[in-house]
């Protein structure tokens, strides 16, 4: 009886010894298959808010350049009202994660203009894909730039069916415009909510709110940023809202705020940040 028991145990050990390498290979193979066909280039495309030009993110890019291990090329576009595009800057050879900033000749505020800007972003996006031949990217939008991106993802990304978005981050984007109400009802919010099912269901998204006094960043009400959860939740894979307080949390200071720069590095660029920064970022997420 004892001998049979040892034979059984030996058989189990042999089976595990055979199965484990196969399991490990299978997981590695699945990961490889998932990444198969993905271009090495995956740009980070930024859209500024109203009244801001393609130079809006210069301070942010400078801050990122101080600490990020990878140096990023910077390409800037300005889309005219007739759909023509002016390029400045360039993408360095072998830079597979360049920063691309898309601005608009008509950068005025208001729902009608935001709708037009989403169309112009689509024009620029198609031109970028045609020129640089990438099939996945990451997106960042400040203020109304986040609304423009959201409209684009809902309604226009499908016009480039071979291209997917990896991650999306917005900074102080007013999904319910200037309203302080906890019940979203503006025309802008209604449009974003109406087309929410067009959002990519594999998307990971971070919405950052800045608050001077826990109600506003001096321009955008916190409740308006918070309204974004009704658009994204249950439509995409992951939605996280993060509130940043303290120094330099006025609306115009937010893109280059050091706390937000750290969040961009960890969650949008997925860099290996120091443990101290990682723990600080994790605390911000846990405190939501």
* H/E run at residue 284: helix 275-286
At 7 the pLDDT is 64
Residue indicated by tokens 């109203």: 50
All structural domains of the chain with their residue ranges? 41-286
Whose CA is closest to 159, among 211, 124, 196? 124
Tell me the pLDDT band of 30, cut-offs 50, 70 and 90. Answer: very low
- Arithmetic mean of pLDDT, 199-215: 90
pTM: 0.84
List residues bridging with 99 in a β-sheet. 44, 74
> Distance between CA 141 and CA 170 in Å, rounded?
5
The structural architecture, per CATH, of the domain 41-286 is 3-Layer(aba) Sandwich (3.40)
Tell me the pLDDT tens digit for each residue of 139-166. 999 999 999 999 999 999 999 999 999 9
List residues bridging with 221 in a β-sheet. 216
> Distance between CA 277 and CA 21 in Å, rounded?
36
Tell me the pLDDT band of 5, cut-offs 50, 70 and 90. Answer: low
Does residue 263 contact residue 164 with C-beta atoms inside 8 Å?
no
At 118 the pLDDT is 98
* H/E run at residue 230: helix 228-232
Q: Which residue has the higher pLDDT, 88 or 254?
A: 88
Cβ–Cβ contacts within 10 Å for residue 45, how many?
A: 24
Give just the sign of the alpha carbon dihedral 108, 152, 62, 224.
positive
Q: Kindly write down the DSSP assignment for every residue of 126-141, as one continuous string.
A: HHHHHHH--SEEEEEE
List residues bridging with 136 in a β-sheet. 164
Tell me the pLDDT band of 22, cut-offs 50, 70 and 90. Answer: very low
Tell me the pLDDT tens digit for each residue of 118-139. 999 999 999 999 999 999 999 9
Tell me the pLDDT band of 208, cut-offs 50, 70 and 90. Answer: very high
């Amino acid at each position: 009886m004892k001998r049979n028991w040892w034979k059984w145990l030996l058989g189990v050990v042999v089976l595990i010894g055979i199965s484990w390498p196969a399991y490990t290979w299978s997981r590695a193979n699945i990961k490889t298959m998932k990444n198969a066909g993905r271009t090495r280039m995956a740009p980070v495309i930024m859209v500024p808010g109203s009244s801001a030009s393609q130079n809006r993110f210069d301070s942010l890019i400078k801050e990122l350049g101080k600490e990020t291990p990878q140096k990023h090329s910077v390409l800037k576009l300005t889309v005219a009202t007739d759909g023509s595009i002016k390029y400045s800057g360039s993408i360095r050879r072998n830079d597979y994660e360049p920063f691309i900033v898309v601005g608009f000749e008509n950068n005025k505020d208001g729902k009608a203009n935001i709708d037009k800007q989403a169309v112009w972003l689509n024009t620029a996006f198609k031109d970028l894909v045609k020129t640089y031949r990438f099939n996945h990217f990451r997106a960042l939008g400040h203020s109304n730039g986040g609304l423009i991106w959201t409209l684009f993802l809902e309604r226009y990304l499908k016009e480039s069916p071979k291209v997917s978005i990896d991650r999306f981050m917005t900074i102080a984007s007013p999904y319910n415009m200037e309203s302080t109400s906890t019940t979203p009802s503006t025309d802008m919010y209604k449009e974003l909510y109406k087309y929410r099912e067009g959002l990519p269901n594999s998307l990971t998204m971070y919405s950052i709110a800045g608050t001077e006094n826990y109600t506003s960043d001096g321009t955008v009400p916190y409740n308006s940023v918070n309204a974004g959860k009704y658009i994204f939740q249950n439509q995409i894979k992951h939605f996280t809202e993060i509130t940043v307080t303290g120094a330099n949390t006025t609306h115009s200071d937010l893109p280059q705020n050091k706390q937000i720069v750290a969040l961009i590095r960890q969650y949008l660029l997925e860099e290996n940040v120091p443990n101290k920064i990682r723990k600080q970022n994790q605390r911000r997420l846990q405190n939501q």
